[in-house]
Structure 1
Amino acid sequence: MVGKKIGGRTYYYLAESGRVDGKPRVVTQRYLGTAEEIARAVPGGEPASTSYRPYGDVAAVWSTLSRLDFVNRVDDVVRAKPSLGLTLAVAVLHRATAPATPLPEWWTAGPAADLVRPRLSTVDGIWKALERLTPERIAGIEDTVASAVLEALDDHAALAVDVPQFAAFAPADCTLPSACQGVLAGVGLRVTRDGAIPLKSRLYRRDDGTAPTFASLMAGLGPATLVFHSGQAAQLDLGSRSGFVGSLPLTDHPELLTQPASARKRVDPERFAGLTALDTHAVVDGVRRRVVLTHSATLHAAQSRAFADELATATRELDGLAEALAAGTHRGDRAQVHAELGRVTRGRRIERVLTAVLSGNRPGEIRLERRIDAAALARLDEEFFGKQVLVTDRDWPIGDVVTAYRARTHLESTFRWLTGPAVTGPTPRWEWTRQRIEAHGLVSVLAATITHLMRREADRAGMNLSVRELLDQLAGIGELVLRYPSTGGRPRAKRLLTELDPEQQALADLFQLSR
């Protein structure tokens, strides 16, 4: 809150600051009134001081942890003194709401210390306490939290998903984590089909050459439908496998790509705006399988923009090369020019639409002419952009097949938020042992479990948001803290939620923030 003195009187505004072009700036400002007006609006006299802090994200995550009875469930698994349940709950709360902020700073500046009951006296010992998490305890905690999650769901169908870009564990006192000797980790997950909520995990290292094969990783997670992307399809013998949903390279089935748009039907407009699909069959690894050709208008537009940018870059480079050849400033021979052309036009289908013709053989006489094949560009736009070929042996409705396949994308996005750019330990320099990696991996997985459960609840309430979007919306719900001077006892404080827009009000009602 800031005060502005005008005509001898101070007027108060609720201001939110942020960085604009790298510099701190006030990005939103809301008028509150004079101290007298604020005092009249809030019984108890004039406050001695006020402060503002984000509130909704921490309150909603803590409310969800409380509804799952998280602390008691963990303590039932890990019967130890002091309680590990509360310590782990605070670690998960921090990871879900402020993964990039040091834990002590987050605890001191935010509302967590006021919300958490019973209250932790300090968070300084959390890192040390997490070292009590043995593999057996981690498995037990995942099982009990999974039971609580499944009690809230009607659909208990499970998916097995690999997230190879799970986390980078870097020393805390490293200025540039990418330059430090850290640990790269992937994770195999068993998640719900409804909401992609993690139930069980298996971490593995990616930087020491011991990463398990895709199939063997999934085998240890329990019964589930295997989810894979086109790059992983070659690792699986789909001719003999059962229980899967995945994607195939588009070029494997050109006969599907030339099907007219009229052959596709809309897929549940409420859940998948702009998505159409053709449900058919094709031979995959020697066996006739169900395949679903999907077309997303959103994906089509994004791929078209990306390709247009890439094509523009390539043509600029070719035009620059042509000008250099014509001016005589490029004296390379024909082989060198060919090599440059290959570098510019190679990859991402640029070579399908952009051609370059050389004339002349001697250095200084070589000339370049380039052209864009409009017909090829139209075919590329019509046949490839926005499309995916999904394969499955499940007889689920198309919407459920798409939901299962997209679980991987949602999880990758969530873990980029929770663990990027790197998970760091406390200072001084922190050595990431296997136990510490597994313990902090559990914190991230449980944070994904809680936030994906919240995302599912918001989706059922008509708000289709990613985890990051959901938490950003909730963080926009602020708390104004008015502190009153002592009248002989302890100083009093009153807390008020800031004014909410309709979407924030819906989220506040959904997660019962008024409590």
Structure 2
Amino acid sequence: MIGKRIGGRTYYYLAESARVDGAPRVVTQRYLGTAEDIAGALPGGAEPGGARHRTFGDVAAVWGTIQRLDLVRRVDAVAGPQRAKTTLGFHVALAVLHRATGAGASFEEWWAGCAAQDLVRPRPPKAAVTTAAHWRALQRLTPERITGVETAVAEAVLDLLGDDGTSALAVDVPQFAAFTAADCTVPSACQDALAGLGLVVTRDGAIPLASRVYRRESGAAPTFGALAGELGERYPATDVTLVFHAGQAAQLDLGARRGFVGSLPPADHPELLTQPASARRRVDPERFAGLTAIDTRATVDGVRRRVILTHSATLYAAQYRAFTDELSTATRELDGLAAALEAGTHRGDRTQVHAEISRVTRGRRIGRVLEATLTGTRTGEIRLTRRVDEAAVARLVDEYFGKQILVTDRDWPVAEIVTAYRARTYLESTFRWLTGPAALGPTPRWEWTPQRVAVHALVSVLAATVTHLMRREADRAGMNLSVGELLDQLCGIGETVLRYPSTGGRPRSRRILTDRDPAQQALFDLFGLERFAP
């Protein structure tokens, strides 16, 4: 650095010297300013001229997991030779990163508001990080490539899991997403088409390995058994267990089927519902607080099967709350009907009044506990009284609330049976997170074609693969979090970018991470975010 005295003040330059023709010469110099300018531009000198906050932890953890799965290279291997500078694999990786961390923002907003632009390398051109460019690039995903990508990523997952990935579950997520019909030309007349998703996932962590999206209202939706068989054929070397809920049990012949975990309608086995609470045992206080169970056997579809009656304190509270709301609504409606009959404003005959009572008490639970009595036969003289049978309420609550009946032919511990059965619930929660506002579709919204639906499903499934792999690692480290809770914790690890005044060149900036609480620090260490830190 050299100084030049001009007008009584010293101005500094950053100079580089070299020998030219054997003599030392200044070959380049850059103006820095006065001593005060330099001090003000240095961190720790004058205050910065501006600052902005960006999300860091969730983006860094997801991108690090994408790198561990070698997603870009694996997708490009499936795609084959490409001309584009930004390859299909890179676009898919960006789409997965955005889907998992976008939080309702468009590609452009998300890219500008998070640390991805400093973490993702090679840095994509600005024109590639837009919603339009995203959908345009992903048009190259043909059905064959989509299947190939899923297979390649599944191989990466199984390599990471080792022996833990040899056992899988087949599950159905019937409420996967809704898409506006592709042939709709008048937006106001468009109706959403419901789509379901069949999945094969690892038993350990419910990490997706294969999927099939289907339209539910087309009349051609596959039965759950056929869907599971189709997906299972893609992993013939993997031991696949069918997971179903009580509403699907009637579609399956459990007497002949092998390899399943599911639930049965509680009313089908009243002898289990009346078992005393003292017969239940705690399942796993650390993983399932408030869950108790009875492990026994019962006849299901003509065959003696292992059945497990579970009682969840959380489910009990939710069901009791919903029931009391339902009962309160029914009694309020009956009281209104009684008042209208008393005042003479309701002029219906006895048959019409009976029909209204039946409508109000049509729920099976309400019909058991709410009694309505009519007196009088002529219009204008009919009167209504109602009574809540508290003894019936107590019996209903004791017999049904908080209880589920699981059936299986597996000899796994009860905790593993419960975990397998709840895999569908975990996945539904994940897809609600991933396919909510962050899942921006084509513009205009009603231009959903079958290919775009398939691409949307692939990106969602890959995002679930990445986040469930992260969730599994957090669970093994003693942090039992849902995908939403995990990403929320990571999102709390932010980055502040401080901008300092220019000294003649580009403005100087400094990136620092926000303070972390103990839970965030544990996740920071678990996912090795130090390597991405400024």
**How many residues are aligned here?**
475
Residue 56 of structure 1 corresponds to which residue in structure 2? 57
Deviation at 1:55, TM superposition (A): 2.2
Runs of 4+ displaced beyond 4 Å: 39-42, 176-179, 421-424
Q: Is the 1:239–1:284 contact (alpha carbons within 8 Å) kept by the matching residues of 2? A: yes
**How far 1:210 sits from its partner (Å)?**
1.6
From 232, 249, 267, give the equivalent of 1:251: 267
1:435–1:320 CA distance, 2 compared to 1 (3 A): same
The Cα of 1:301 is off from its aligned counterpart by 0.9
Determine if the alignment matches structure 1 residue 341 to structure 2 residue 357. Answer: yes
Equivalent residue letter for 1:266: R
The sequence identity of aligned pairs, in percent, is 72
Q: Does the CA-based 8 Å contact 1:161-1:190 persist in structure 2?
A: yes
Query: Is 2:334 the counterpart of 1:324?
Result: no
Query: SS of 1:46's equivalent?
Result: coil
Residues 160, 221 of structure 1: 8 Å contact kept: yes
Tell me which moved more, 378-387 or 464-473. 464-473
Residue of structure 2 in register with 1:14 after alignment: none
Amino acid at match of 1:161: V
Report the equivalent of 2:96: 92
Residue 104 of structure 1 is matched in structure 2 by 108
Q: Is the 8 A contact 2:495 2:512 kept in 1?
A: yes
State the alpha-carbon separation in 2 of the partners of residues 160 and 349 from structure 1: 32
Select which of 193, 205, 228 maps to 1:195. 205
- The alignment partner of 2:289 has SS state of coil
Q: What is aligned with 2:317? A: 301
TM-score, normalised via structure 1 length: 0.88
Inter-CA distance 241–423: structure 2 relative to 1 (3 Å threshold): same
What runs of 5+ residues in structure 1 fail to find an aligned partner?
1-38
Structure 1 residue 92, shift from structure 2 partner:
0.5
Q: Secondary structure at the match of 2:153?
A: helix
Matched, 1:471 2:481: no
Mapped partners of 2:153, 2:489: distance in 1: 26
Q: CA deviation at 1:384?
A: 0.4
Match of 2:530 in 1: 514
Q: 1:175-214 maps to which residues of 2 (within 5 A)? A: 180-214=190-224
In structure 2, what residue type is equivalent to 1:380? Answer: L
Deviation at 1:306, TM superposition (A): 1.1
Pair 1:47-2:51 in alignment: no
Alpha-carbon distance between aligned partners in 1 of 2:89 and 2:509, rounded to the nearest angstrom: 29
1:12 counterpart residue number: none
> Structure 2 counterpart of 1:290, which letter?
R
Match of 1:79 in 2: 80
Do 1:162 and 1:188's aligned partners in 2 also have CA atoms closer than 8 Å? yes
CA 1:41–1:305 in structure 2 vs 1: closer, same or farther (change >3 Å)? farther
Show the counterpart of 1:20: none
Larger Rg: 2
Deviation at 1:220, TM superposition (A): 1.3
Residue aligned with 1:200, SS? strand
Q: TM-score w.r.t. structure 2 length?
A: 0.85
Report the equivalent of 1:238. 254
| Equivalent-residue separation in structure 2 for 1:44 and 1:455 (angstroms) | 42
Task: Please give the alpha-carbon distance, in whole angstroms, between the structure 1 residues aligned to 2:403 and 2:299.
Answer: 19
2:507 matches 1:491:
yes
Equivalent residues of 1:171, 1:429 under 8 A apart: no
Q: Does 1:118 align with 2:128?
A: no
Pick from 383, 388, 404: which aligns with 1:367? Answer: 383
Q: 1:460 aligns with which of 473, 476, 483?
A: 476
Equivalent residues in 2 for 1:127-166, closer than 5 Å: 127-153=135-161, 154-156=163-165, 157-166=167-176
* Mapped contact 2:98–2:107 kept (Cα < 8 A): yes
Contact 1:167/1:423, CA 8 A, preserved across alignment: no
CA 1:354–1:449 in structure 2 vs 1: closer, same or farther (change >3 Å)? same
Q: Which amino acid aligns with 1:449?
A: T
SS at match of 1:221: helix
Q: Tell me which moved more, 130-139 or 241-250.
A: 130-139
CA distance in 1, matches of 2:337, 2:518: 55
Distance (Å, rounded) in 2 between the aligned partners of 1:447 and 1:179: 32
Structure 2 gap segments, 5+ residues each: 1-39
Distance 1:498 1:149, change over 3 A: same
2:327 pairs, out of 311, 318, 323, with 311
How far 1:75 moved relative to its partner?
1.9
